[in-house]
Chain A
Amino acid sequence: MTTNDIAIHAQRLTKSFGAVRAVQEASFAVSRGEIFGLVGPDGAGKTTIMRMLAGVLRPDAGEIAVDGVDVVAEAERAKLRISYMPQRFGLYEDLTVAENIFFYGELFSVSRDARITRGRELLEAAGLLPFQRRLAGQLSGGMKQKLGLVCALIHTPRVLLLDEPTTGVDPVSRRDFWAILYNLRENGVTIFISTAYMDEAERCSRLALLHAGAIRHCDTPARLKQAMPGALLAIYASDPRSLRDIISGQPGVLGVLLMGDRVHVRVDNPERRIPQLKSLLAGQGAGEMEIKPAEPGIEDVFVALVGQEGTA
């Protein structure tokens, strides 16, 4: 990867608030056209990293380059290339959809003609064209998020920073929102997105797992899953709760999780452990059941790789 292909380059980013070390030596490089996900629970440091990338918060130490511009030294110049959508994007609820777009266009010094054509394009992509005259305050949560995105894109930024954009948004609207992001990526926009939702993280092309201010792992979702020690099995039975108690602590069992209609069991070696579990459960009179390999989610990976220290 040459420097030219890197859209965001952060090196040893560090930030403390009083005695709290919010971010500790976070380093990562995001290639042009990637959808890079910053994944971690509330309080892990996601927003702090995001705000430093956006140039609105100065790091205590470390370097950030966005689209080749040093964000710390040249914040103003960097701002033209970046769009930052914070968790609570400031839409004007008593302005209409079209008026909000116009307002943000003016803020970013987008020409009047460009505002109209670009605004129309973006509204169409977001499925909001029929709602141009509606007051922003009267949109549903998912539509407000899409309008926020349209406003954030009005000046055609090369890098888009999205801080937990889909919190509180229902699955159907979330899917629409992601369709827009994939479309932007096709047009060469680099997207840096944070989320506390592990299932959503699967949609990113690469992920950084953030815990207590430090990046613990960084790779594609598929490779992170491969890096998870052991393999995941799902055991379906009429009384999964009793299975959990039998299985916990057995040799080769790395973790047991009771789900709604099954038990998820992480084992060191599935070929060896499946027959062992079967005979163990049959011996305990567990009744009819089915054991099959299960696809791990990013949460399984997070728990396995970041481990017990995640407990709070």
Chain B
Amino acid sequence: MSADAPAILAQALTKKFQSFTAVDHLDLSIAKGEIVGFIGPNGAGKSTTIRMLCGLLRPSEGSAQVAGFDVSSEAEAVREHIGYMSQKFSLYGDLTVRENLRFFGGIYRVARREIDERMKFAISMAGLEGREDRLVRTLAGGWKQRLALGCAILHRPPILFLDEPTSGVEPEARRRFWDLIHEFAADGVTILVSTHYMDEAEYCNRIALIDRGKLIAIGTPSELRAHQLGGELFEVGCAPLGAAMKALSDAPGVVDAAIFGDRLHVVLGAGGLDAADLPGFLGEHGIEVDQVRSVPPSLEDVFVQLVSGSPEERMIP
């Protein structure tokens, strides 16, 4: 693989299960050292795509190269060059930290002369020095998760797949984890993160959004956030919220009004109310307004906007 060849390249990648097309002509190019987030609703085709990229499932049409190997004809080589880690990763709770590492070293066929050095690296990377002989089930979540990462990288894979790697982990530990991931990326490891959580997606250099088997958007978090919501988003502090939402939903120029915690999120389009009109308009409906301010849309706002149709239409097959 030449230095600037993509680490992951999918071309018209397609998977059909009988009449159902789970992944539909997906094109994706990921550079070496990039961290890419893979997001989409349940049943959108994320897992199917990742299983194909891992060489575990044969594409029906199209092709993909991972670390320079073809996922159909060189599946074995692909599997040797990838690491996989999930938050629900099955570490063995009744084994110690060291035993878990040795076990996964065996699975990944790490050479005997290298294993001690690789285990040492994994232990120091995960901050587990002094805990090598602890049973894994007695470790707190953050340590377990970094150990799972340590197991996934024992064989120095150039490509790493992470599945919701930090869900439910202590915030400080989560930040430490993402620092590690950025260090790996700096060393040239390519990382594909599959997640439902936008705060995990924010750590990615680029985000690929997939819906109904198709890639519907890809870009940096800022590029995606710049996507138009059909107007500008305002946060309105007012009471009572329910009445305010009802009054606004039929008002001219209001694209969307939704309760968000103790405030209202209102998208204002052209040719109707503008932000300065809101206190007066709501006042006429007996609603007291204490604050109106422009807020940037969240990745979730964008995601929901881009993913068309109701979730009920996206039934699992």
Q: Can you name the residue of chain A whose Cβ is closest to the Cβ of B34?
A: A260
B105 at the interface (CB under 8 A from A): no
Name the A residues within 8 Å of B220 (CB-CB).
Answer: 260-261
Neighbour of A259 across the interface among B170, B176, B221, CB < 8 A: B221
Q: Give Cα A186 to B314, complex, Å.
A: 29
Question: Is the Cβ of A303 less than 8 Å from the Cβ of B202?
Answer: no
Name the A residues within 8 Å of B201 (CB-CB).
Answer: 260
Q: Give Cα A204 to B263, complex, Å.
A: 10
Neighbour of A261 across the interface among B175, B205, B304, B316, CB < 8 A: B205
CB distance from B9 to the nearest CB of A (A): 21
Question: Is the Cβ of A170 less than 8 Å from the Cβ of B42?
Answer: yes
Surface stretch bound by A, among B93-101, B117-125, B178-186, B268-276:
B178-186
B206 at the interface (CB under 8 A from A): yes
Name the A residues within 8 Å of B307 (CB-CB).
Answer: 172
A173/B186 contact (C-beta < 8 A), A140-B315, A303-B171, A310-B170 known: no
Surface stretch bound by A, among B65-73, B75-83, B253-261, B278-286:
B253-261
Question: Is the Cβ of B262 less than 8 Å from the Cβ of A222?
Answer: yes
A168/B196 contact (C-beta < 8 A), A143-B311, A196-B167, A260-B221 known: yes
Question: Is the Cβ of B311 less than 8 Å from the Cβ of A176?
Answer: yes
Name the A residues within 8 Å of B241 (CB-CB).
Answer: 182
Question: Is the Cβ of B258 less than 8 Å from the Cβ of A179?
Answer: yes
Name the B residues within 8 Å of A306 (CB-CB).
Answer: 171
B292 at the interface (CB under 8 A from A): no
Surface stretch bound by B, among A99-107, A276-284, A294-302:
A294-302
- Quick one: CB contact mask for B201-221 with A, threshold 8 Å, 1 for yes? 111111100000000000011
B169 at the interface (CB under 8 A from A): yes
Q: How many A residues, CB 8 Å from partner?
A: 57
CB distance from A216 to the nearest CB of B (A): 12
Q: How many B residues, CB 8 Å from partner?
A: 62
Q: Give Cα A241 to B34, complex, Å.
A: 12
Q: Can you name the residue of chain B whose Cβ is closest to the Cβ of A173?
A: B311
Question: Is the Cβ of A221 less than 8 Å from the Cβ of B199?
Answer: no
Q: Can you name the residue of chain B whose Cβ is closest to the Cβ of A200?
A: B197
Question: Is the Cβ of A221 less than 8 Å from the Cβ of B262?
Answer: yes
Q: How many A-B residue pairs have CB under 8 A?
A: 150
Q: Give Cα A130 to B143, complex, Å.
A: 45
Name the B residues within 8 Å of A128 (CB-CB).
Answer: 312
B62 at the interface (CB under 8 A from A): no
B172 at the interface (CB under 8 A from A): yes
Question: Is the Cβ of A186 less than 8 Å from the Cβ of B197?
Answer: no
Most buried by A among B201, B207, B295, B300: B300
- Quick one: CB contact mask for B126-166 with A, threshold 8 Å, 1 for yes? 00000000000000111100000000000000000000000
Question: Is the Cβ of A257 less than 8 Å from the Cβ of B300?
Answer: no
- Quick one: CB contact mask for A143-170 with B, threshold 8 Å, 1 for yes? 1000000000000000000000001111
A202/B260 contact (C-beta < 8 A), A169-B196, A259-B202 known: yes
Question: Is the Cβ of A203 less than 8 Å from the Cβ of B199?
Answer: no
Name the A residues within 8 Å of B196 (CB-CB).
Answer: 168-171
- Quick one: CB contact mask for A133-145 with B, threshold 8 Å, 1 for yes? 0000010111100
Question: Is the Cβ of A199 less than 8 Å from the Cβ of B199?
Answer: yes
Question: Is the Cβ of A172 less than 8 Å from the Cβ of B41?
Answer: yes
Question: Is the Cβ of A141 less than 8 Å from the Cβ of B42?
Answer: yes
Question: Is the Cβ of A171 less than 8 Å from the Cβ of B41?
Answer: yes
Most buried by A among B41, B171, B204, B311: B171
CB distance from B50 to the nearest CB of A (A): 16
Q: Give Cα A199 to B261, complex, Å.
A: 11
Question: Is the Cβ of B206 less than 8 Å from the Cβ of A260?
Answer: yes
A205 at the interface (CB under 8 A from B): yes
Residues of A within 8 A of B (CB): 35, 41-43, 127-128, 130-131, 138, 140-143, 167-173, 175-176, 179, 182, 185-186, 196-199, 202-206, 220-222, 236, 241, 257-262, 295, 297, 299, 302-303, 306-308, 310-312
7 closest Cβ pairs, A-B complex: A312-B140, A42-B168, A310-B172, A312-B142, A196-B168, A170-B41, A41-B170
Q: A142-B311, A170-B42, A172-B304 are in contact. List 20 more A-B contacts (CB 8 A).
A: A41-B171, A127-B310, A127-B311, A131-B312, A140-B314, A140-B316, A143-B312, A167-B168, A168-B196, A169-B196, A171-B41, A199-B298, A241-B186, A260-B202, A262-B221, A303-B172, A303-B175, A306-B171, A311-B176, A312-B173
